[in-house]
Structure 1
Amino acid sequence: MKQIVVITGASSGLGTELAKEAVSSGYSVVLIARRMERLQQLKQELETSSNTVRVYQADVTDRTALCALFTEIGHVDVLINNAGVGYFAWAHEMKQEETEQMMNVNVTGLINCSELVMPQMIKRKSGHIINISSQAGKLATPKSAVYAATKHAVLGYTNSIRMELGRSNVRVTAINPGPIATPFFDKADPEGTYLKNAKKFMLDPADVSKKTIAVIGRPVREVNMPKWMGMGSFIYSLFPGTVERMGRKAFFQK
């Protein structure tokens, strides 16, 4: 029986690539997003005679709707919490609705989905929760205060439930990519400033998805991409003041 992989935020960007990679790797996928039209298109692209693709329209911030949805989905072997949103702006100029959206989607939405699959995974002593975080969750930079705060929260939550669920043989992994070449920046960076400055560092979403799907079923604590950025975040954890001074110019690229 094929393992069932649930992917949130699957209608575009990294979510779509994760869906493609999961199907090509032989998993049965369940795709969740707000844009049903795009999900239906993706279902037609990916579904084959040997592999089913189920799609559901849902907002991860709507706990009541999610409860009904996960009851309908039933068995979940792997949950990939990919749904997320970001806006880049000076902290004192951030719009309230944008702050609330980032907190609700990136943090509350991820927790909602995780809490709804944990009981069944604990009961059968198997399963895997994969949370898409960010290098911003390890090293915050100017004009991303709220976004970085949400990703710090994701890592804190991920690290805690990894220890809790480990007692039941349920695996938990954090994926911490740097900037990915996806439509994420249409909202995050509408003026294109950061996109222009970070273009040479952009990750290929297909490569990120391949490395993410590859950890399913493996005891991997976290995956940092690119490796040099992950190393930079590690050095920052040891010498934060030094890194902030030396990297000041680079950090103000948004």
Structure 2
Amino acid sequence: MSNPSLKNQIIIITGASSGIGKQMAIAAARKGAFLILMARSLDKLQIIQKDINDNYGVEAEVHAIDVSDTNAVQHVFSKIFNHHGHIDALINNAGFGVFDYFAEADPNDIKKMFEVNVIGLMNCTRMVVPYMLKSNKGHIINVASIAGKLATPKSTVYSASKHAVLGFTNGLRMELAGTNIHVTAVNPGPIRTNFFDIADPSGQYIANVGRFMVEPEKVAHKVVDIIGTNTREVNIPWTMSTGARLYQIFPRLVEKIAGNLLSKK
């Protein structure tokens, strides 16, 4: 069941300067939420902030931050809690990916993917959980990926980082069982955003899987609709989600039958 209104709820979104982060901010603003938006690019955040403040009748607060910087996260989140006292939801959306065969992968890219996708997500979550436990309410939404369930060639490291996100999310959900804090994993397939400008500058990936790509607005609306609900996972699109489930049951068969398709990057 979706939440029809988020009026006056305080929602933090990381990676909010573009892509699904930006679209989630707009979708939540339409439902009346007070947005706290985070990303590395302050200029881009301020443009979105002005759009929200001017057009949706709600306020948005922005913070320039690299979530992989533990000290910076502690400083910004402490300032937020000192000012607001609480938050209602954290959407961990900041992410980074580079598609390369592992033998050719740059060690710096490997390190950065885990620093942002895993450590950064944990940094932000670690700051909100104690406050949510005190009030016994809240929602943590971690944007993982179908790639965390169904690894493919050239996304070896990215898939590993998202697999870690899923493991963390599932473990945290069990730790918080019995409380009123919800923990949700969001597993999108490829989304039509500028993510692939960095992940695959050749454009080959988009050319091969373009028909499977999801529009960012669709993902954003599905995520915002479940804020405040006890939803375990959101998987988009259903075709890739079904493929991931089949892979978990029949991994050897799926690798054999769908090997050519999975290798298209």
TM-score normalised to the size of structure 2?
0.94
1:239 aligned residue (246, 250, 253): 250
Rounded Cα–Cα distance in structure 2 between residues aligned with 1:53 and 1:166: 31
Residue correspondence of structure 1 range 85-124 to structure 2 within 5 A = 85-124=96-135
Matches for 1:35-46 after TM superposition, within 5 Å: 35-46=41-52
1:141 is aligned, of 152, 164, 186, to: 152
Equivalence for 1:192: 203
Identical amino acids, percent of aligned pairs: 46
2:237 partner amino acid? P
- 1:101 is paired with a residue whose SS is helix
In structure 1, what is the equivalent of residue 59 of structure 2? 52
Runs of 4+ in 1 over 6 A off after TM superposition: none
Query: How far off is 1:223 after superposition?
Result: 0.7
Of the three residues 202, 220, 228, the one matched with 2:213 is 202
* Equivalent residue, structure 2, for 1:8: 14
CA offset digits 1:106-140 (Å, max 9, x no partner): 00000000010000001111000000010000000
Rounded Cα–Cα distance in structure 1 between residues aligned with 2:146 and 2:228? 23
1:76 paired with 2:87, answer: yes
CA distance in 1, matches of 2:42, 2:200: 25
Opposite residue 188 of structure 1, the aligned amino acid is A
Q: Count how many residue pairs are aligned between Structure 1 and Structure 2.
A: 254
Corresponding residue for residue 66 of structure 1: 73
Counterpart residue number, 1:126? 137
Give the partner amino acid of 1:203: V
* TM-score, normalisation: structure 1: 0.98
Q: Structure 2 stretches of 5 or more lacking a match?
A: 1-6
2:189 matches 1:183: no
- SS of residue matched to 2:141: strand
> Does 2:32 align with 1:26?
yes
State the SS of the aligned residue for 1:55: strand
Secondary structure of the corresponding residue to residue 171 of structure 1: strand
Task: Please say which of residues 225-234 and 126-135 is displaced more in the overlay.
Answer: 225-234
Tell me which residue corresponds to 2:3: none
Amino acid at match of 1:46: I
Letter in 2 for 1:123: K
Instruction: Report the more deviating stretch, 160-169 or 102-111.
Output: 160-169
Shift of 1:68: 1.2
Q: Residues of 2 paired with 1:162 and 1:212: CA distance? A: 17
Which residue identity does 1:230 align to in structure 2?
S
2:228 pairs with 1:217: yes
Please list the CA deviations of residues 85-105 of structure 1 after superposition, one character each: whole Å capped at 9, or x if unmatched: 100000010001111110100
Q: Which runs of 5+ in 1 are unaligned?
A: none
Once the two structures are TM-superposed, the CA of residue 38 in structure 1 deviates from its matched residue by: 0.6
Q: Distance in 2 between matches of 1:184 and 1:69?
A: 25
1:232 Cα shift? 1.0
SS state at 2:176 partner: helix
1:165, CA displacement in angstroms?
1.4
Q: Is 1:230 the equivalent of 2:241?
A: yes
Displacement after TM superposition at 1:229 (Å)? 1.0
